[in-house]
Amino acid sequence: MVGIVDYQAGNLTSVARALSFLQEPCVITDDSNVLDRASHIIFPGVGAAGTAMANLRDKGLDQHLRKWVQNGKPVLGICLGSQIIFDNSEEDDAACLGIVPGSVKRFPPQLGEEVPRLKIPHMGWNSVDFQKQHPVFQDIPRQSSFYFVHSFYTAPDDEDCVAGWTNYGIRFCSAVAKDSLVAVQFHPEKSGRPGLMLLTNFCRWRGDHA
Amino acid sequence: MLSKRIIPCLDVRAGRLTKGIKFRENLDIGDPVEAAREYYEQGADEIVFYDITASAEGRSIMLDVVKRVAETIFIPFSVGGGIKTIEEMRQVILAGAEKISLNSQAVQHPAIITEGARAFGNQCIVLGMDVRKTPASHRIPSGYEIVINGGRTPTALDALWWAKEGERLGAGEICLNSIDADGTQDGYELTLTEMISTGVGIPVIASGGAGRPEHLLDVLTTGKADAALIASMVHYRNYTIATIKTFLAENGVGVRNLW
């Protein structure tokens, strides 16, 4: 059973719908007891980092997320969920979970060399250059496109945890893999075949790197 | 690099397509869910549903369509047509749509753009603009006027001003439809599209006039659009989304490969 963490951060039903399509049982909940029993955790979310962190702390879910990753439970962060695993975010100047060392930055307002300037948010389909062999990215062609919607990007301190790069005016980290945690800036539940493949792989993954 | 998006538009009335689409077997079908699945499999980057039903009963039928589409395709899709309140927007989003397109309602009650953006995020709110060419004047310096009610009612609003105002109010994207080009299949309105695309900092979807792949090439390069809406050219199977994308890629436009 996949536990989808409900922390009032946007509409979580699209992730649940994709899992239902893949015939993977799932539950959307903010109950840490239920999530404790889940074999896998998906941590999605859209919205602002400050509010999201406040909601997580209110429910004590911040401690649980750290614990699940420490204990080797497979955790998948999506979009905002892939940002607040870092130390801090320029959005709301929020202190975040600190599971992965690094920060979350705003795309610079004058992005790219072209005229007109690149638009923010970065919205639409962009390719991900996967960096490493990882069970969650298995069988996904290296330059596959995924659907993105975001104005902030993640900047890990240690590039060893970068699992994918994407170009949008600058090169930014669009996928992270560290221990039993995988985090993606894009929306696999809205990215057609490669996205569904990623979700399938995640549900079969046991948190190891073999 | 961010891909240019190709977006088929489906007109729905009381849960059925107003014009059927041709399937591979040349069968004509009217079910919007099956049509969405067909375009998803062909490589559509997004799908737009335009609901031209006005009645309350029609609305609940549309919500059911949205739910079934969301269970079937795993790309973003938007719903437009007659949505007037935040509660109606919420129902459509919870049913599974990513985006809501606001058109006449936004002209009549601009505050709904801001309220919608606050409730669901800017990325959820698409400002739909129907535009007609008109002699440039003091009131309409760009020479393009916003019209509403399916093009029947002029508003005396300047299109460029309204696009910028929509962005300021919180729209995350603009779907720009030229009433003059709509239905002609003679190509998009390039002057208008280029003016709006360079005039705002949010993505612009060009709409109206697509008949051949060359038209998409023009509007995505000369017209500087971020995305192109298509209808008849794929509904009647004169082209598939895959053949259009191949043509665009051969001409240097970055499009998403279907894998």
What are B153-177's pLDDT values in tens digits? 999 999 999 999 999 999 999 999 9
Sketch the domain layout of chain A as residue ranges: 2-204
| Active site members of A | 79, 187, 189
- The bridge status of strand A2-5 relative to strand A40-43 is parallel
Mean pLDDT (chain A, rounded):
93
Tell me what the mean pLDDT of segment A176-201 comes to.
Answer: 97
Residue B243 is predicted with a pLDDT of 95
Q: Which residues of B touch A189 (CB under 8 A)?
A: 74
**What's the rounded Cα separation, in Å, for the pair A1 and A109?**
42
Res A129 pLDDT > 90: yes
Nearest partner of A136 among A187, A184, A83, A69, judged by Cα: A184
pLDDT number for residue B64: 95
Q: What is the pLDDT of residue B27?
A: 81
Judged by a CB distance cut-off of 8 A, whether residue A46 touches chain B is yes
- Is position B82 within any domain? yes
- Rounded to the nearest 5 degrees, what angle is found at the Cα of B117, between the Cα atoms of B203 and B221? 5
At residue A129, the 3 state secondary structure works out as strand
Provide the residue range defining the domain that includes B97. Answer: 5-250
ipTM of the complex: 0.92
pLDDT mean across residues, chain B = 94
Shortest distance between the Cα of A127 and any Cα of chain B, in A, equals 7
DSSP class of residue A151 equals S
Nearest to B74 among A18, A120, A144 (CB): A18
Q: Where are the alpha helices (DSSP H) in chain B?
A: 32-42, 56-70, 86-95, 104-108, 111-120, 159-169, 190-199, 213-221, 232-235, 241-250
pLDDT in tens, A136-183: 999 999 889 999 999 999 999 999 999 999 999 999 999 999 999 999
Whole-number pLDDT of residue B259: 66
Instruction: Record the pTM.
Output: 0.94
* Model pLDDT, residue A8: 82
Tokens 């995505």 -> residue: B220
What fold, for A2-204? Rossmann fold (3.40.50)
Judge: A13–B1 Cβ closer than 8 Å, yes or no: no
Asked whether the beta carbons of A148 and A130 are under 8 A apart, the reply is no
Asked whether residue B135 is assigned to any structural domain, the reply reads yes
Which positions in chain B have a beta carbon within 8 angstroms of at least one beta carbon in chain A?
A: 1-3, 5, 40, 45, 70-71, 74-76, 93-94, 96, 98, 121-123, 172-173, 197-198, 201-203, 224, 226-227, 256-259
| The two three-digit tokens of residue B210, written as one number | 């697509």
- CATH code of residue B158: 3.20.20.70
Please indicate, yes or no, if residue B219 is contained in any of the structural domains: yes
Q: How many domains does chain B have?
A: 1
Q: Nearest CA to CA, how far is B154 from chain A (Å)?
A: 30
Nearest CA to B100 out of B130, B125, B128 is that of B125
Q: What is the pLDDT of residues B3-28, one digit of tens each?
A: 999 999 999 998 999 988 888 777 88
What is the DSSP code (8-state) at residue B257? P
Rounded average pLDDT over A124-147: 94
| pLDDT at A113 (0 to 100) | 65
